[in-house]
Amino acid sequence: MKRTTIALLAALAATPMAANADDLSYTWLEAGYLRSDRDSLGSGNGVALRGSGAITDNLHAFAAYERSNQDSADLSNWRIGVGYNLAVSDNVDLVARVGYEKADYDLLGDGNGYGIEVGVRAALGSNFEASAGVRHADLNLDSNTVCVAVVPTPPACRFSADEDGGNTAFFVGGQYKFNPQWGVVAEASFSSNDNRVFVGPRISF
């Protein structure tokens, strides 16, 4: 997976396109459906709200909120931070982000930490853009032990170490633009313990 993502990043950066990186807006809002599949908690459905706002030509602020109902617990988390975007060609931007993250993992407890992200965005013509990169989050939870009832009794406890500490995910995404303001976005991310898919509309300003 790591080699595939690196190859995709290189291909996006090297592909010549007629579109200009100015078409990549950093002021937008989006909301949509979230599907999450965690090894220790099962699969679940939810919603995500995400936004970004340009501060200067090369700086932007971002925020996101996600909530999903897993088989074993309800999960919610949000993050806020700043990003730096640099045009590396006529149609490709290099994007780096850092932010604060907070999570509420229901029975697992609350936690907070930091997240970092490095990737690329590419304008592939006037109606489509693509993105890919790697995202790392490091959260410290108040508790990482889940107790579940079993038959026969007594109850047993399941240790969920993968819900605490660091997690690195690779992501790919795209947006189809109906016009300069409205579009629909899709993103998939993959890690050792959590795979996610997001789909929803985006409005750009």
Number of domains making up the chain: 1
- pLDDT digit string (tens) for 182-201? 999 999 999 987 899 999 99
Can you spell out the DSSP letters for 128-154?
EEEEEEEEEEEEEES--EEEE--SSSS
- Per-residue burial over 22-41, b if 16 or more Cβ lie within 10 Å, else e, is ebbbbebebbbebebbbebb
Beta-bridge partners for 58 = none
* Number of other CB atoms surrounding residue 18 within 10 Å: 10
Average pLDDT of span 43-56: 94
The pLDDT of residue 21 is 57
Distance CA 124, CA 102 (A): 34
Q: Quote the domain boundaries for residue 73.
A: 2-204
CA atoms 137, 87, 177, 131: torsion sign: negative
Can you tell me whether residue 17 is helix, strand or coil?
coil
Give the span between the Cα atoms of 200 and 42, in whole angstroms: 23
Which residues on neighbouring strands pair with residue 142, listed in sequence order? none
Q: What is the CATH number of the domain that holds 41?
A: 2.40.128
d(CA 136, CA 115): 6
Q: How is residue 5 written in tokens?
A: 């993502």
> SS3 of 107, please?
helix
The structure's pTM equals 0.78
Residues 62-121 pLDDT 10s: 999 999 887 667 788 899 999 999 999 989 999 999 999 998 877 667 889 999 999 999
Identify the DSSP state of 39.
T
